[in-house]
Structure 1
Amino acid sequence: MSKLVGKVALVTGGSRGIGAAIAGRLALEGADVAFTYARSGDRAEAMVRAVEERGRRALAIHADSADPGAVETAVSLTVERLGRLDVLVNNAGVYEVGAIDRLTREDFEKTVAINLRAPFLASSAAARHMGDGARIISIGSTFATRAPEEGLSLYSLSKAALIGMTKGMARDLGARGITVNVVHPGPTDTDMNPASGPGAAAQLRSIPLRRFSDPDDVAGLVAWLAGPEGRNVTGAEFTIDGGANV
């Protein structure tokens, strides 16, 4: 796998779960990879080793996506340390759920700051450094277009907004050859939502394929969008959920 040799990628929230799978896959495809993490320094160190074992350069950046300055600095550090930026994956996010009459202003501000403002700022900063053929990919959610249970109003709001932002940026950056897309994972087997967890059985009943996605499934789709086959795909949404949203 060498479709991304010579490229540099930045993955926000790349030390665990879907983000770690994406960072690892992009490295496997030949990219040097920077990634941000907010906690779990041991996982960040493990991710650095995993990228370097694939023969690629790695850069772990401690950055809280709730801090706008940290988001922009992560982009600058990537360019400074790794020399360029070709692929941005906006993956970092929070999952705040609750009925609308119980959610607080603080819940709203935290969710919007991490799930929406951070991708906007990272994309804006990245676009200033990117050249022709660059990629911006945001990780959304199937809850952006469908709320199958209670308590999703705030989370769905933040992920639905990514769709509009993606389409707008695709128009803004298309003339420069930069593609912008959003990937919507459904139930995915991570430490936050394990396929063997207490709520897994109920989720499986809603999935036609009767299986959770693996983080590597999502990473494979992201790698395709980041690679040469994705060069003419922009402003698009991709759902990877085993059919849960049909």
Structure 2
Amino acid sequence: MVLTKTEQKYGTDLVDAHNKANLDLIDAIMTQVDLLSEDTGHVAQACLFLATLPTDTNTVTIGADVYEFAGAGSNINVLKGVSAATARANLIAAINGQGTELVVADAPTTPATSVRIQPADRVGGTAQIGAGTSIAVSETLANASDVWNVANLNESGAPPYLKVARGKLVITAENLASLFTLELPFTPVVFAWSAFTTGGVPVGNKGQAVINGDYLEFDLDVTTLAATDYVIWEAYGN
């Protein structure tokens, strides 16, 4: 197989761009596309704001585990201490040492007056990248401001996307005249795009774009965009 100069320089996993009206290949886009790379994803987390010393028998619930400050019943007892900082440290120790849910707790830098939990490989273990496990959280703390920032650990976090493609398209009259498509060497799951004038000013009403199989389809707004304006796009998939 004989490779083109573009393929020799950038590799063969590049984006095929064409105007759907005439299927003409637009070579310029190919020289502006990054090669596929790995995305790390991010770890799910839930933060409990705890800036006030809890009252006796106040509880914090993480899944099936109920932590009770100065408790005497069947719940996991947490020493309250004499300050909110001590209560946070004791709660973190209890979650990591006495809980049953596969989470790890720590004290994040921001917000400093909170306790953070993340899904882990074992109780108190190493945080795991990806979408959060379904673990409901709640509390009965006396101060109305001391609350969880989510109701379930699965409300945040995302698995890693193994493939990423990004590029810049300089708009032409042909792009504006009809539906314009980019064919990716993988099926994208999510993508984002922005349009700018030649001078770099963002364009608000830029048109519409959707994922259709392995394609990104752009229907650019001819009333706000002109030839020599440009589009920046980024797509993720597996």
TM bracket, shorter-chain basis: under 0.3
Kindly name which structure, 1 or 2, has the bigger radius of gyration based on alpha carbons.
2
TM-score, normalisation: structure 1:
0.22
Q: Whose strand proportion is higher, 1 or 2?
A: 2
TM-score, normalisation: structure 2:
0.23
Q: Whose helix proportion is higher, 1 or 2?
A: 1
